[in-house]
A = this chain, B = another copy of it.
Amino acid sequence: MARVSMADVAAHAGVSAQTVSRVVNQSPRVDPATRARVEAAMSALGYRMHRAARALRTGQTRTIGLVVSTLASVGNSRMLQAIAEAAAERDYALAIVTVAGTRDIAEAFSQLRDQGVDGAVVLNEATRLARGAEPPAGLRLVVVDSPPDDRFTIVQTDHAGGARLATRHLLDAGHRTVHHLAGPVTSFASSERERGWRQELAAAGIDAPEPERGDWTSRSGYERGVAFAAASAVFVANDQMALGLLRALADAGRRVPEDVAVVGFDDIVDASEYRPPLTTVRQDFDVLGARAVEVLVRMIETDEAASAQTIGASLVVRDSA
């Protein structure tokens, strides 16, 4: 019943433990016949690597951390799933660290260091990162959606480009201007989307109206929604706020899309069942998550810096605009 170690496998195969190690680590310096014998012994005994032992010796845990503030946002959940799968594919374990209200980013870093992760993906903490704690030296970091920063590598959606697509779509439909319900000022994604919206309006020679600002939740979309009762076109910074806005507009007796056109951002799964089905900008969370892991693992294994990656966003036209 005891655990099977390399020594057991070695004895069974009539070789030394070191040779077993070489087989496990795919060293080329092993005779094919020996390799086969060792592999047979491994499966006969049901050998499994002892990660802790390897970690102790090599200093690498083959674990990546994920720092996330909230999973209430549908996007974060989707990314988490993509990240979990990408990590598993590469045989890395995934350790989750949450950053809740009082527990701040510094504490998250400390937790990562304690757990000895080889690197970490950070979701949505750009501003806190910038303000707050210095990441522990030597911890490789990939941050999703962050302003440029040379302490880590960035992977992001082309928020501004997506916002331009949305704004353009509304302008092309003949609206004289496009209003905006933005996300919180602390969010990089939010400010990028706002920037794209301004750019596209500017390109059309239109003065941007003052945006409203929510906190990503559908409730805030509803609360800010009254401000748009007189608008004819609104670009909303995410789908969940768009949901609230749709209700606010209905309350105000405005029909969508006849009286007001609405475009969201994210394309979360439920967006197609909003009333009306929401025209929105699709973020490819799966690619984003997979890419973040890919970049991080490359940084860990080659010890080279990686350059920033931007993933395109596309417009999904449904009925709300």
Contacts and interface: CB of A to CB of B under 8 A. Distances in A.
B273 A218 contact: yes
Interface stretch (A48-56, A158-166, A175-183, A200-208): A48-56
A282 interface: no
Given A88-B98, A95-B93, A269-B217, A71 B61 contact: no
A69 to B, nearest CB: 10
Given A218-B269, A275-B247, A81 B85 contact: no
Interface size class of A (residues with CB under 8 A): 35 or more
A301 B80 CA distance: 29
Nearest to A63: B95
A272 interface: yes
A196 interface: no
Given A88-B98, A269-B72, A52 B52 contact: yes
A6 to B, nearest CB: 13
A74 interface: yes
Interface stretch (A17-25, A26-34, A107-115): A107-115
A178 to B, nearest CB: 22
Nearest to A248: B273
Interface in A121-154: 137
A84 B72 contact: no
Contacts of A195: none
Contacts of A70: 81
Nearest to A110: B48
A94 interface: yes
A243 to B, nearest CB: 5
Contact of A95 (B95, B98, B137, B277): B95
B56 A52 contact: yes
Interface string A61-89: 10100100011101011101100110010
Contacts of A95: 63, 93-96
A250 interface: yes
A259 interface: no
A55 B274 CA distance: 50
A71 B74 CA distance: 9
A199 to B, nearest CB: 30
A88 B94 contact: no
Nearest to A249: B275
A244 interface: yes
B219 A272 contact: yes
A161 to B, nearest CB: 26
A156 interface: no
A116 interface: yes
B96 A94 contact: yes
A17 B51 CA distance: 24
Contacts of A273: 218-219, 221-222, 243-244, 247
B97 A88 contact: yes
Q: Which of A222, A247, A270, A272 has the most CB of B within 10 A?
A: A270
9 contacts: A52-B56, A52-B116, A74-B74, A80-B80, A81-B98, A218-B272, A222-B273, A243-B270, A275-B275
